[in-house]
Amino acid sequence: MTRRFSWFNATSLTLGFTFLYLPMLILIIYSFNASKLVTVWAGFSTKWYGELLHNEAFLDAAWVTLKVAVLSSTFATVLGTMAAYVMVRGGRFRGRTLFSGMIYAPLVMPEVITGLSLLLLFIAIGLDRGVVTIVLAHTTFSMCYVSVVVSSRLVTFDRSLEEAALDLGCSPFDAFKSVTLPIIAPAVISGWLLAFTLSLDDLVIASFTSGPSSTTLPIKIFSAVRLGVSPEINALSTIMIAIVAIGVITASLVSKQAIARRQNEEQKALKQ
């Protein structure tokens, strides 16, 4: 359905998108500034991206961030999928509503509180802060996002598919592995990508749980900015925006394409 935009729609769209993206756009533009002064435009240059490659501190932080993001999003996906499966399939057990509420609570919990409580926990059990603690912390808070994405898929999942697998001789685990998982895979993948991007740009929780040798990129940027914004930071931020954008767009494309392809093929089957 194509319809011409009314004036009202066009205006609100422009306003909304300006509000959302103008700051980022300025940041991206200035990352290509030749001048060392952030607010003075002196021609186009990519030299700051080159400089980044020689900045050991930034590269270390980037490596830590990537490690944390991959590990925590993987753990979060496993745990989140399991939680979603139990919540949707487990039937009505005592306290089910309480449990599902508790899984989703971290979505609205202030990050400062999550970070602080994790910090207290790590100190209490005597765990040295470093990559391990950040991974644990990120797993904790991104798990609930994964479980939201996966459970919304599981709700529309035809239960009889699992029963058919059991009927044909699968053990319950085999049924999950060879029937349920392949079918919900797009949701699981987009859950992983979501967890990955959440971990990538988290500052608050990471600053509570990181140690001296494990600074993540957002922490590095934040502390560098306090000493003054440099074009290098702009370049770094632009790269991060790009990675996060790719992550989010891929996540939504994966699930959308799966649906679109299926509808398309169903249409073809009907025409035959």
Partner 1 sequence: MFKHGDFMAHSSSTSTFAPWEDSEQKPLIQFKNVTKRFGSFTAIDNLNLDIFEQEFFALLGPSGCGKTTLMRMLAGFESATEGTILLDGQDMAPVPPNKRAVNMMFQSYALFPHLTVADNVAFGLKRSDMPKSEIEGRVDEMLRLVRLEKFATRKPHQISGGQRQRVALARSLAKAPKLLLLDEPLGALDKKLRQDTQFELMDIQEKTGTTFVIVTHDQEEAMTVASRVAVMDEGRLVQVDTPARIYENPNSVYVADFIGDVNIIEGNASNKGDGLVEINWAEGQPAIQGTATNAVQDGTRVTFAIRPEKVSITQERVSDKANCIEGKVLDIAYLGNISTYHVELPSGHVIKAQAANNRRLARRSFTWEDAVWLSFTDTAGIVLSDNAGG
Q: Which residues bind partner 1 (CB under 8 A)?
A: 158, 160-161, 163-171, 174, 179, 182-183, 262, 265-266, 268-270, 272
User: Please, which residue, 36 or 256, has the CB nearer to partner 1?
Assistant: 256
Give least dist CB 157 to partner 1, A.
11
Residues with Cβ within 8 Å of 186's Cβ and at least 6 positions away in sequence, in order, are 153, 254, 255, 258
Distance of CA 19 to the CA centre of its chain: 22
User: Please, which residue, 128 or 174, has the CB nearer to partner 1?
Assistant: 174
Cα(103)–Cα(59) distance, rounded to whole angstroms? 35
Give least dist CB 4 to partner 1, A.
35
User: Please, which residue, 56 or 158, has the CB nearer to partner 1?
Assistant: 158
User: Please, which residue, 36 or 261, has the CB nearer to partner 1?
Assistant: 261
Give least dist CB 169 to partner 1, A.
4
Give least dist CB 100 to partner 1, A.
22
DSSP 105: G
Q: Among residues 90, 257, 115, which one has the least CA distance to residue 190?
A: 257
Give least dist CB 263 to partner 1, A.
9
Cα(76)–Cα(135) distance, rounded to whole angstroms? 10
User: Please, which residue, 6 or 160, has the CB nearer to partner 1?
Assistant: 160
CB 120 within 8 A of CB 53: no
Cα(49)–Cα(32) distance, rounded to whole angstroms? 8
Which whole-number Å values give the CA distances from 92 to 88, 98, 99, 113, in the listed order?
9, 12, 11, 31
